[in-house]
Amino acid sequence: MEDLGLVAELFKTSSTLERAAASLEKISSGQEEIEHGEKDVLLWAGQFLHALDWSAQQQASKQLGGGLALQATSVRPTFYSCLFRIAPQLREAGLQNEKDLTSFLSSLYLNLLSAGAPGRGHKKLTPDQSKLGALLLHEMAESILVQINNNGLPRPTGTLKDEWKPTANELTTVLAI
């Protein structure tokens, strides 16, 4: 990743998704009321996931900002790979087919968009569903950090200065071929 602006946006995305996961876990425990800042994070996560998931029904009246659309496009493969990684937990929660998964994700998005409170036309997530949603958000946040961090591969350079110079590492010749 050479575009530092995109890296910064992806880091912000990862941090916000991690905060949303923590808020969902808080909701699942039912012990504490979520704060205003947490509601904003949940709303953002709902908008982001709704933009990210191709199977979600996009509302024609809702326009995405350019930054959110770019982040969603950059993270979309990560989203689907995270769904595959948590497939055992999804099956354990009773989501056996695509229809079940789509229903759960729709419910998750609607609950995030309403900051965890029941709204018109949808029910509040159960504690187990909130935990499952938090797991998905946490997996996504972690995967984005790995994506930013050179896909988790060891770096051959010794200094940060060398790392940001594209001609300074030994992989440049391999990529040029």
Q: Could you tell me the two tokens for 58? A: 């996009």
Give me the helix-helix angle, 127-148 and 4-29, nearest 10°. Answer: 160
Alpha-carbon distance of 137 to 154, in angstroms, equals 25
Question: Residue 119, SS3?
Answer: strand
Q: Could you tell me the two tokens for 135? A: 């797991």
> What are the DSSP E strand ranges found in 82-141?
none
Q: What is the pLDDT of residues 153-166, one digit of tens each?
A: 555 555 545 544 44
- At 22 the pLDDT is 93
Which whole number is the average pLDDT over 31-41?
81
Q: Could you tell me the two tokens for 15? A: 């941090």
Q: What is the pLDDT of residues 94-133, one digit of tens each?
A: 998 889 998 899 889 888 888 756 555 557 788 898 999 9
Residue located via tokens 């001609």:
167
Answering whether pTM is above 0.95, one says: no
